Amino acid sequence: MYNTTPITGVYASALRALGIEPAAGTQAPIAALDKLCKKAFGGEKADRLLLYNPDAVALWLFQKYNEMFTDAQLASSIMLPLLSVMPSVTPVCFASMYTGLMPAEHGIKAYVKPVLKCNTIFDDLVKAGKRVALVSTSNDSISMIFLKRSIDYYIYDTVDEVNAKAMELIEKDCYDVMVVYNGNYDGTMHKFGTESEEAIAALKANLAFYCRLVDAVKQHWAQHNTFYGFMPDHGCHEIDGGCGAHGLDMEEDMNIVHLYGCNARK
């Protein structure tokens, strides 16, 4: 069975958490996330977003290795099974997540990484006067398709450098919105297989880092209303030869799991 809540709703939900009106013609916000923010913030809006994007974390991984996700679930308020877009490859999926549009509308319909010319969440955030940081590894989709916006880009060669910078920026409390990308599970599963020792270690590292991010938010952003999430782009499956892959219209690739939480100001 395919999930029914589309990944395109993330765009409007993230903006609505901040009190920013999404662009016309985009996917409606996810109702559960609106309710989560209203309950957590007592009718106020968030003034911080922390959007963590680990690559290729499928719903079936959550279901099969549920205990591995325990700490991440405890750090969150809600788990949402979402449906990705086709083709289920990274630039297409992140473009849809952060524009609220389907591939035919935003224009990335294959594994290519052009700079998006349509409106994105980053354009809306800049127009609203928000200070935005994108922290990612070089040559990855999320660090390329959202270029040429008036935001700060922190692009590094390794995931360790990305994560160290993300922690530093949270501690400095200098941005309203931070988007952080980790592609280590995706890269590892392509090479060794979706459930290989190496890939599972990378997935555990992504989950542990998400928990570290949430802990840092609670420590350093305690005076803010913060909406945060664990937000992969697509799933994955194993192919002949024991390697991992994605990109097909199949449950393993299309069904993903997101975790979200809120931390209200003290």
DSSP string, 56-76: --BHHHHHHTGGGGHHHHHT-
Residues 129-157 pLDDT 10s: 999 999 999 999 999 999 999 999 999 99
Report the amino acid identity of residue 87.
Answer: P
What is the model's pLDDT at position 248?
A: 96
Contact 100, 23 (CB under 8 A): yes
pLDDT grade, residue 240 (50/70/90)? confident
Paired tokens of 53: 């994007």
pTM: 0.97
179 beta partners:
51, 134
Contact 235, 254 (CB under 8 A): yes
Query: Would you tell me how many other CB atoms lie within 10 Å of the CB of residue 82?
Result: 22
Q: Which of 225, 247, 227 is nearest to 237 (CA)?
A: 247
Rounded to whole angstroms, the Cα distance separating 159 from 178 reads 16
Q: Which of 166, 184, 163, 175 is nearest to 57 (CA)?
A: 184
Contact 93, 115 (CB under 8 A): no
Sign of CA dihedral 242, 248, 251, 254: positive
Q: Would you give the distance in Å from CA 117 to the centre of its chain?
A: 21
Rounded to whole angstroms, the Cα distance separating 212 from 97 reads 24
DSSP 3-state assignment of 188? helix
Residues 79-138 pLDDT 10s: 999 999 999 999 999 999 999 999 999 999 999 999 999 999 999 999 999 999 999 999
pLDDT at 68 over 90: yes
- Summarize the confidence of residues 196-216 as an average pLDDT: 98
CATH class of 5-263: alpha beta
Domain ranges of the chain: 5-263
